[in-house]
Amino acid sequence: MTRNLSRVLAVVLTVAMVMTFACAASAEGKVLRVTQNVEMDTMDSGNTGDGYTTSIMSLLVDSLFRLDANSQPQPALCESYTVSDDGLTYTFTLRDSHWSNGNPVTAADFEYAWKRVVCPANGFEHTFMFNYLPIKNLTDINAGKADYTTLGVTAVDDKTLVVELTAPCNWLIRFLSDTAFGPLNQAFVESCGDQYITLARTKGVDTVAMTVKHVLRNVLTGVITVIGPSVVNVLTGSLVVEKAFSVPGIGGLLITAIQENDYRQYMMRKREVAYVFNDVLYRINFVDCSIFPQGYAAMGRIIDDDKRNNGFAGFAGTVMMADIGNGTMNIMQLQNGRPDEKHCWTEVLGVNQCVLTAKKQMMDKYGIDLPEQTIENYLRTGQARLRQEYLDQLRSIVRGYVTGLFDSLRAHGYDSRMMPLYIMGGGGCLVKNFGAYDKGSVIFIDDLHASAKGYEYMTLGMLWSRERARR
């Protein structure tokens, strides 16, 4: 009986909380039933990384924008918006909407919700979503140099929300369709206290279980932020971290942890892997684990060849490296051929962002929905069967995007007069086809398999050294 009562209370509380979220349209006469095999872990729109929860929450919570059937952002709680000429200030005007208690949804609800998420003391999971955006003061807030209340979001009045950036951000509007950026009714949140975070107590969960499942998951956010972004691939017997840096400064911390051997021991906890491919059983025995910053493996043979043929002249001093992928540009400085852990960054400036930028601007200017594949082919080849007017505009957009790439590189210390720049990854075609750069100091690694070949080369080298030492 007690168990059934707990379930009833949980359902009642869930319904009460759902009705307190902003609602954009009437559901009169319409019913949507959604089934999933996992309960929502919270109704807190700023504090969940669970995919099941966010998928349902997206049906319950409106943000400034929502994605349409073609995954394009459309106004939701936002009626209109303007962007300053320098692209650093967005001003959003809210439409008329109300909470279930009758109170109007105001710009202050957004300001409160956003600052609540980025507050380090809260340790909320959705903080990572904000770190993809160059919001004013966010970097200093993460570093503990500024108070979370200084975040660059301000409610000018009930209907006007101003967001200040430190760099132009063409993907901002798309991100603002996520539930993490939705509003919260401050009075309601504070009236619920810690009960707003989870429904655990209403389900009859004991204090110990609730602490382990719900409290520690927030306390450990800092640790997860370091380890979580790492993506591990198995390539020719070597385990490699493909993605090491998702937050400014994390790269150096992770490399330091690697050098202290902690992460290597974790990866080597299981030394044998078996899998079946084309009905054949394969077994892989791992003899060692080597972890490199993304892109560095592609430089391995180049650095060794320079050492043998040029006496290491090509890599003496500072060399800049940029790995431009689909979603990000990973930047790293090499000092005398070795990664500099204090100078590693990741910027959300990949090929996909360029495609989305071009697609949106072509739609805004000409009202045409240019297929993404057409844009991608144009980026790779510099050619497309389009009207000359469209080609000229597309070329201008991409050149502007590449200018932004170099602005980011220069912000991180790149100077063509003082150091060479190695560019690799699928996004290298952007710079080669549309960039204005010093051809004497920029070197392209065009082989898309350069990293895989580099891992193989470095692995064979280490195995050979191990064998010689054994002899």
Q: What is the pLDDT of residues 269-323, one digit of tens each?
A: 777 877 777 777 888 887 777 777 777 788 877 888 877 887 767 778 888 999 9
Same domain, 315 and 423: yes
Write out the two tokens for 467. 């064998």
pLDDT value of residue 38: 63
pLDDT value of residue 326: 86
Same domain, 360 and 232: no
CATH number at residue 77: 3.90.76.10
Query: Helices 372-381 & 351-366, crossing angle to 10 degrees?
Result: 120
Residue 449 lies in a domain: yes
CA–CA separation, 319 vs 419, rounded Å? 5
pLDDT value of residue 131: 84
Its pTM stands at 0.45
pLDDT value of residue 293: 72
Q: Which residues contact 166 (CB under 8 A, 6 or more apart)?
A: 88, 134, 135, 136, 139, 152
Q: What's the count of helices (H) and strands (E) in the chain, helices before strands? A: 18, 15
CATH number at residue 324: 3.30.420.40
Same domain, 242 and 334: no
Same domain, 251 and 323: no
CA 318, 319, 325, 329 torsion-angle sign: positive
Tell me the sheet residues that pair with 162. Answer: 91, 154
Same domain, 354 and 257: no
Residue 467 lies in a domain: no
Q: Are 125 and 48 in contact (CB under 8 A)?
A: yes
DSSP string, 341-381: EEEEEEES--HHHHHHHHHHHHHHHH-----HHHHHHHHHH
pLDDT value of residue 240: 36
Same domain, 274 and 142: no
Same domain, 57 and 151: yes
pLDDT value of residue 461: 78
3-state helix, strand, coil in the chain (%, to 5): 45, 20, 40
Question: What does residue 240 show for φ and ψ, rounded to 5 degrees?
Answer: -130, 135
Domain that holds residue 24: 2-217
For 443-456, the pLDDT digits (tens) are 998 887 888 888 88
What is the domain count for the chain?
A: 3
Residue 241 lies in a domain: yes
Same domain, 25 and 62: yes
Write out the two tokens for 291. 């972890």
Of 259, 292, 325, the one marking the end of a domain is: 292
Write out the two tokens for 96. 């008329």
Same domain, 317 and 278: no
Burial class (CB in 10 A: 0-12, 13-18, 19+), 419: middle
CA–CA separation, 364 vs 372, rounded Å? 15
Distances (CA, A) of 337 to 74, 306, 418, 465: 48, 10, 15, 19
Those residues of the chain that have pLDDT short of 50 are 1-27, 196-197, 217-254
Of 292, 321, 346, the one marking the end of a domain is: 292
Q: Which residues contact 257 (CB under 8 A, 6 or more apart)?
A: 226, 263
Residue 373 lies in a domain: yes
Residue 439 lies in a domain: yes
Residue 470 lies in a domain: no
Torsion of CA 415, 418, 422, 423, to 10 degrees: 20
pLDDT value of residue 262: 64
Same domain, 240 and 385: no
Question: What does residue 104 show for φ and ψ, rounded to 5 degrees?
Answer: -70, 145
